[in-house]
């Protein structure tokens, strides 16, 4: 939390938020609610502009693939990354996410231009 003074600068003009967490740490599950609240809800960004990444460390145990998050986090796109198993899957998900952000940016830019014209 010592970086909280930097948050407004980080948030300024941001178009997307990726929250990466360790699903095996209960403290992380609580923290991602705070990150979501500060960086997504208060901006405000759309839920589609946020991506949750549950990162599984090599050799990690536990049945965290079936992670069920509580509202409002359960509305967000959640991907599981395990770079030992399937880095290609994660790469494809990132590309999809970035494409969706670019679409949102282009649509809002077009709306702005139309409002200036009219």
Q: What counts of helices (H) and strands (E) characterise the chain? A: 3, 3
Alpha-carbon span 32 to 10, nearest angstrom: 17
1 located within any domain: no
36 located within any domain: yes
Q: What is the pLDDT of residues 49-74, one digit of tens each?
A: 999 999 988 777 655 667 888 899 99
Q: What is the pLDDT of residues 77-106, one digit of tens each?
A: 999 988 777 778 889 999 999 999 999 999
Output the domain CATH number for residue 25: 3.40.50
Six-digit token string for 41: 């809800």
2 located within any domain: no
Alpha-carbon span 58 to 54, nearest angstrom: 13
- The distance of Cα 118 from the centroid of its chain, to the nearest Å, equals 35
């Amino acid at each position: 939390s010592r970086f909280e003074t930097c948050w407004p600068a980080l948030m300024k003009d941001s178009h997307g938020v990726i929250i990466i967490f360790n699903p095996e740490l209960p403290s992380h599950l609580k923290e991602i609610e705070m990150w979501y609240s500060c960086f997504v809800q208060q901006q405000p960004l759309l839920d589609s502009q946020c991506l949750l990444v549950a990162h599984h460390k090599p050799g990690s145990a536990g049945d965290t693939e079936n992670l069920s998050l509580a509202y409002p986090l359960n509305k967000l796109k959640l991907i599981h990354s395990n770079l030992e198993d399937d880095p290609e899957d994660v790469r494809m998900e990132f590309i999809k996410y970035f494409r969706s952000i670019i679409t949102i940016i282009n649509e809002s830019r077009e709306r702005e231009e139309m409002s200036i014209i009219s």
